[in-house]
Amino acid sequence: MSASNQEDLILDLKGVNVEFDVEAGKLHILRDVSLSVPRGSFLCVVGESGCGKSVTAQAIAQLLPNNGRITSGEIVFNVDDERIELQSLEKFGAKMRSLRGAKIGMIFQDTLSSLNPAHKVGRQVAEALLQHTDISKEEARERVVTLFTRLGIPDPRRRYDAYPHEFSGGMRQRVMIAIATICEPDILIADEPTTALDVTIQAQILELLKDLQKNEGRTFILITHNMALVSEVADHVAVMYLGRVVEHGTTQQVLFDPKHPYTRALLKSVPALDADKNEELKTVDGQTPSPADVTRGCEFAGRCPYVADICRGETIEMRTLPGNHQVRCVRLDAQGQLPIFQIGGASE
């Protein structure tokens, strides 16, 4: 499922499978996930809670919890003219650690719990810098203060010595962004960075991220369940369902010409500002099954309005439509169109 060879891919996931050990056995969380991320692009990974998008991010950074592991597949990271297979590196080994923070930056969702409450904020940002560069503490402090200014944190010098609980949510997120970007990593992975914030602050943070991408040429992977965000910032979109990538393409393709039934349902369920208030809000039928339950065929079969017998057979392969628009649906015809009719459910 890789893209054309001409593209400069900073990250290329090929058939990654992740399993978790739980009391009841093993949970197959990521199924054959393949994603190619061109350098300098902004990718949004979307899906419902539990679809595996966070796990994907963790897998890339090799920060899976103790009971999780990558069982197969490759995660190729191309940086500094070097081709590194991340999944083969030791989790806390020197090589992987030299990448984390320096080449791969991470931004987390819950800022209050993601920052050490006992350390000053400035120190936490400087920690990343001091880990990867050989500079003095004073020099690090200066750089952090500069970054704070750049990221819009007022009174940066004083704020350096403040503690996380003294900041508002939006400011804390900026601190997290500072931590992630201070070493100027090539790729940034943000896991629902704005979910806990007010809408206005959300917009600010997003703008900040987009700005970082444009002006500093960084690659972004933004994980979210909020489709509205996607349209604002993403170049590419990957839709995930139950551990599988079901659709992947440019924002234009996925948002305005969605092919996969799940994507279409997802988009329809986003309340639009100009929607008729009296119309029922469309939801996706049914409930997300547990990863332990689905084993054969299409994961979405149980809720899909287009389901047919063929959907419950073998694992559905990813199909590439013109324009490198990838869809994992077996109901698409040769032109990549879904059938006009559906089984039950409301009309299109």
Partner 1 sequence: MGLAISALIFFASRLSPIDPINSLIPPDSAIDPANLAKLRQQLGLNDNIFIQYFHWLKEMLVGNFGYSIQNGQKISDILAQRMPATLELVLSALILSTLFSLTLGLFAGANRGGFADKLSRVLAVIGISVPDFFIGIALLNVFAYRLGWLPTGQRISPGETTLWQRMPHLVLPVATLTFAMLAVLIRYTRNSVLDTLNKDFIKTARSKGVPEWKVLWSHVFRNSLGPVMVILAFRLPLLFGGSVLVESVFQWPGIGSTIVSAVTASDFPVIMVISMIVATAILVSSFMVDIIKSILDPRVRLGGSVTS
Partner 2 sequence: MSSKKLKVAREDSTLRILLRQFLKNPAGVAGLAIVTLMILGAIFAQQVTGYDQAAFDVTASFHSPNWHHLMGTDQLGSDIFARVLYGGRASIYIGVLSSLLGNLIGTFLGATAGYIGGKFDAILMRISELVMTFPQLILVLICVSLLGQGVNNVILIFAMTGWMTTFRLVRGEFFSLREEAFVEADRAFGFSKSRIIFRHMLPNTLSPIVVAFTVNTAIYIIAEAGLSFLGLGVPITTPTWGNLLAAAQSPVVVNQYWWLWVFPAIAIMAFVFGVNFIGDALRDVLDPRQRTASIKRTLLSKIIPGRSSKKGNS
Q: Nearest approach, Cβ of 266 to partner 1 (angstroms)?
A: 28
Start-to-end CA distance of the chain, whole Å, equals 30
Nearer to partner 1, 41 or 109 (CB): 109
Q: Which does 315 bind (CB under 5 to 8 A by kind): partner 2, partner 1, none?
A: none
- DSSP letter for 100, please: B
Closest CA to 176 of 121, 104, 102, 107: 107
Residues 30-69 that bind partner 2 (CB under 8 A): 50, 52, 54-55, 58, 64-68
Contact window for partner 2 (CB under 8 A) among 79-87, 173-181, 259-267, 289-297: 289-297
Binding mask 68-87 for partner 2 (x = CB under 8 A): x-------------------
Nearer to partner 1, 113 or 269 (CB): 113
Q: Which does 194 bind (CB under 5 to 8 A by kind): partner 2, partner 1, none?
A: none
The two tokens of residue 126 are 């400087």
Closest CA to 170 of 126, 111, 226: 111
Nearer to partner 1, 39 or 123 (CB): 123
Q: Which does 176 bind (CB under 5 to 8 A by kind): partner 2, partner 1, none?
A: partner 1
Closest CA to 189 of 75, 32, 326: 75
Whole-angstrom Cα distance, residue 29 to residue 20? Answer: 7
The two tokens of residue 312 are 């419950």
Whole-angstrom Cα distance, residue 32 to residue 18? Answer: 9
The two tokens of residue 262 are 């799940």
Q: Are strands 244-250 and 236-241 parallel, antiparallel or unpaired?
A: antiparallel
Binder to partner 2 among 72, 290, 315, 337 (CB under 8 A)?
Answer: 290
Nearer to partner 1, 114 or 288 (CB): 114
Helix or strand (DSSP H, E) at 71: strand 68-79
* Interface residues toward partner 1, by CB under 8 A: 61, 63, 92, 97-102, 105-106, 108, 110, 112-119, 124, 127-128, 131-132, 163, 165-166, 176, 179-180
Q: Which does 230 bind (CB under 5 to 8 A by kind): partner 2, partner 1, none?
A: none
The two tokens of residue 121 are 């904020």
Nearer to partner 1, 124 or 253 (CB): 124
Nearer to partner 1, 80 or 279 (CB): 80
Amino acid at 172: R
CB 11 within 8 A of CB 74: no
Site for partner 2, rule CB under 8 A? 20, 22-24, 27, 29, 50, 52, 54-55, 58, 64-68, 290-292
